[in-house]
Each structure stands twice: as C-alpha cells, then as structure tokens.
A and B are shown apart, each in its own frame.
Chain A
C-alpha cells in the first residue's frame, strides 16, 4: 500500500485515511480497515458457503455413493440425463410449482388485505400486529405438530366442523388431491404475516399528496386503492413476492413433517427428493444434481421477478 513512512501531505490529499495514524499494529489495522474488517467474515463465508456450492456443482457430474469406499467417478452429464428422464423429479417439479404458485398468490392477497386493515388506526392495533408475528417466528417443526393434530382425520378439530356441517370427514393429509392445498394452508399461516408486515411498511411510507389531490377530485375509496395504492405499492409487493417465492420454492420443514412427501409421493417437492437421495440412498452425485436443478429454478424465478420491479 502507498503512503507509509513518507511525511504526510496535508489532510486534503489523503481522503478518508487522513486522520493521524499511529504506527504498529493499530496503525496497520487502521490503514487497512476496509480490508481487515470484513476479512474474517468473508473468509468464513467463502469456506462455509462458496466452497460447498462449487463442490456440490462438481459432484453433480459424478457417480458416488457415500457409503461406498470407492471414490467419485466422473460421468459427465449422465446425472442430468437421468434427472430429465426421472418421472419422480417431473412430479416433484410440478408439485413445487403448484405449491409455490398457490401459496405465494394466496399469501400476497391475504397479506395485502391484512396490511390495508392494519394501516388504519384502531385500539389494540400494536398488540394485534405483534401477535400476528408469532406464527412466522415460531419453530416450524414444533408448530407442525398442532397442525397434524388439527388435520387428524378422526380426532382433529377440522373434521369436527366438516362433520357438523353434514359432510363426510376429509383425509386432509392422505388424499392426493387435497394434500397440497392442506400444506399450503399451513404455509399461509406461517408466511402471510410476513407479506402483511412488508406491505404495511410500504403503505406507511407512501406519499400523502396524491391522496389529497384524488380526494379533492372526488375519488372513491375503491378508486384510491385501484389507481393509487396498488401502483404506488408495486415495488414493495414485488419485494414481498420475491422473498416469498424464494423460500416457498425451497419449503421443506412443514411439508416433510406433515406428509413426508406422501400420500404416494403426491406432495414431494424437489427439495424433498434431494433430501431422500441423501438420507435414504446416500446417492450424493444424484442428490447434488437435483439441488443444482433447484438452484437454477430459484435463480430463474428470482431474476424474472426482479425484472417486474420497474
């Protein structure tokens, strides 16, 4: 680095390192703060995150079972060919998209409704807003237990209401046609408050002048919502949808705990089949391929959504 022992120029020239620096270690730290401060974190993140990512990518071109004593064997694109022909993967991909589309759209609508309600002033608002945060902070694996109890076909409270309305009990988690909407409902419980809080933050920072002008011009409440609030809120909505899509595509905990991918693989998502390849088959090469595919899906979805921002 320049400027070490040379007599210091007046403070004007030296820019942000203008202040008097002492010698020794402290001085060194001071002069290179912009490199040294982030260095440990960056190093750890590199080792912990970037290296495994590269490793996973490389592994996706190999044939390798963890339990075997053999070393990984390079097989080129074989794993990818296998993936494209794998019906289990096709179904999982479809379930992932179906789950994500249903969950994110419902959560956005419900979250917008909640945000509009909580944007008004009413007694107890702060308290209720805090209470809405409980679901998304709560431990998924723990709360899923109460959802399992409520969905239970014979002793669950949902089927009590279903029966008292005169219908036959529903096998929420054992019916192929209902299992994904049932899991989406649980996801809505976890994530709608997130959308609501993000949109509420957006609503509270909207400018007030356009509203005054519109009210003077005699705009109705519905017109205000349709022609002012929604367009102005659009960037915030995109942020909320982006965050939700990224995590919905990778939803694991509540699907795995509630259904285990069943009944008969009807709720298996890409993340779940990746997990099964690791846990049940120890097929590390193919598991890596599945996860690279998931990564591509998440990446493409994120970029697509970001292009809607403007």
Chain B
C-alpha cells in the first residue's frame, strides 16, 4: 500500500516537473511562433497591400487611418482592362517571354550537355563572366544598330535581347542538372550502340526534365520582369507589362487602384511559377552554383 503511495507521489512530482518543462517549452514555442510572424509580416505585407488595394475604391485607398474591412470592388480591374489595352501588352510580354525561353532551351540544352560531359568549364566560366557585366552595356550597341536599321519595336529584336539573359541562365542551370546525371546511364546507352545525339535526346534530356522546367521558368521570369531592354528595344511600338507599369508610376499615379490592379495581374503568373519550382529555387537563382 505505502509503496503504491510512494510510487504515486513520485509520479505526481515527476508530472509536476514535466509540467514545468512543458510550460517552459510552451513559452518557448510561443515566442518562436511570434518571432516567425514578426519576420514574415514585412515580406508578405506589401503583396497583401497590393492585392487588397486593387479591390478598393480610391476613397478607401486614401483613407487615413487605413481601412482594414471594406466592400471589395472589381472596378479597378474593369478599368485597366477597358481603358488601357492591357491584353495587347500582356500578349507582347507572353510572346516574347515564351519565345526567349524556347530559344534558350533549344540552344542551351545541347551546350550545357556538352559542357557537363566534356568538362568544358572554361567555356562555362566565359559565359558566366559575360552575364555579370552591366546589362545596359550590352543594350547600347543593339540600341544603336536596331535604331539605324529601324528595327526598334519588333518582336524578333526584343526576343534576341532577352535571349542574351535567358540563354546563359539556361546553360548554367542545366550544367548542374546534367552533371547530376549518373554516368552509368549514358555509358550504358553508348555501349548499346546509341549515338551521342541519341544519348542526349533519348537519355539525358528526358531524365533532366525537372531541370529544363526550372530553367524554363527562370528564363520566362527574367524575360517577363525585364524593364531596361524592353523599354529601349521595344520603343513605342511594342510595350511589355513592366514598361506599362513604369508608365503608370511616371503618371504620378492618380489612379492608385488601377495601378494596384495592374501590378497584381503582372505579378500573379510569377507567383504561380514560384510554387512550381520552389524546390530548385536556390539552384536557379545562383546559376546552379548551389543546390539547395
């Protein structure tokens, strides 16, 4: 009997100790949770504010103190879609970004395969060095040449200047993916009588499809976001979405709601793409230098 009491008492005291530890841990967890909220808010608030303001009428946008609950309106979206020929700008951006991406994959995949297979790293470094130089420096000569040839504001010239960025990016991302490919697989195919071209097309490319996906999304993203090259080479004839967004800013934006709606529409595809490549984002952002 007394042994049982003793055991019960011991259990109770250990429970108390456990409770103490648990309270400590709960406090720690709460503090850590608060810390996470504190670091996340600054990064998410601007995006929230952009989307929220795109559903507000002008009076609510300019209200002070800020209004946190309001009757959402679609008038800003209707406004930009009807007043600004938004679709044609979106179409420009889409055509250019898709073409630059496809062209970069077509040329970049074989190049990256060869660099990874034959260890042509001097070539790879040369391509990287070229990439870290100021972008406007490349644009000047093309701006001059295309101006003289009256080729400012055509799709092919714009696609070409975007390929300057997307092709090196694609090559660098794909080198790291091709390097990860086990050499047993390619060697086995070679021994079976497959040609190098066959190894590339039937083994290497299919097995690195996730890599091509990452390269494609990063290419698309950098073309979609590009301002300087689009503004200079697109001229007044072909305007892309970032150029239009800058135009709205330059107007001293009387129409904040419209600007927020436009910004939301421009950023939305990019955010969707981010979700698709989140696993490989570090590799994409560091040109394949790091494999997060």
A residues engaging B (CB < 8 A)? 16, 19-22, 26-27, 29-30, 33-34, 37-38, 40-42, 44-45, 48-53, 55-56, 59, 66, 113-114, 117, 120, 122, 128-150, 154-155, 157, 160, 164, 189, 192-194, 197-198, 200-202, 204, 236, 239, 243, 246, 250, 252-253, 256-258, 271, 274-275, 278, 284, 287-288, 291-292, 294-295, 298, 302
A303 nearest CB across to chain B (Å): 11
A-B contact pairs, 25 of them (CB 8 A): A19-B193, A20-B193, A37-B114, A52-B141, A53-B138, A117-B35, A131-B44, A137-B221, A138-B225, A138-B270, A139-B270, A140-B242, A141-B266, A142-B242, A142-B262, A146-B46, A149-B259, A150-B49, A192-B43, A198-B285, A198-B286, A200-B282, A236-B290, A275-B228, A288-B140
Contact A114 B225 (CB under 8 A): no
Using Cβ atoms and an 8 Å threshold, which residues of chain A touch B260? 145-146, 149
**A209 to B111, alpha carbons, bound, how many Å?**
40
B274-290: CB near A (< 8 Å → 1, else 0) gives 11001001100110011
Contact A295 B274 (CB under 8 A): no
- B127 sits at the interface (CB 8 A): yes
How many residue pairs link A and B with beta carbons under 8 A? The number is 280
- Count chain B residues whose beta carbon lies closer than 8 angstroms to a beta carbon of A: 97
| Smallest Cβ-Cβ distance to B119: which chain A residue | A34
Interface of B is mostly: helix
Contact B61 A41 (CB under 8 A): no
**A222 to B14, alpha carbons, bound, how many Å?**
30
**A129 to B44, alpha carbons, bound, how many Å?**
12
Contact A284 B144 (CB under 8 A): yes
**A53 to B120, alpha carbons, bound, how many Å?**
23
B167-193: CB near A (< 8 Å → 1, else 0) gives 110010000000000000000001101
**A117 partner, pick from B39, B111, B246, B248, beta carbons under 8 A:** B39
B112 nearest CB across to chain A (Å): 8
Using Cβ atoms and an 8 Å threshold, which residues of chain A touch B114? 33-34, 37-38
- B91 sits at the interface (CB 8 A): no
**A180 to B291, alpha carbons, bound, how many Å?**
34
B14-46: CB near A (< 8 Å → 1, else 0) gives 000000000000000000110110011011101
Interface of A is mostly: helix
**A294 to B53, alpha carbons, bound, how many Å?**
38
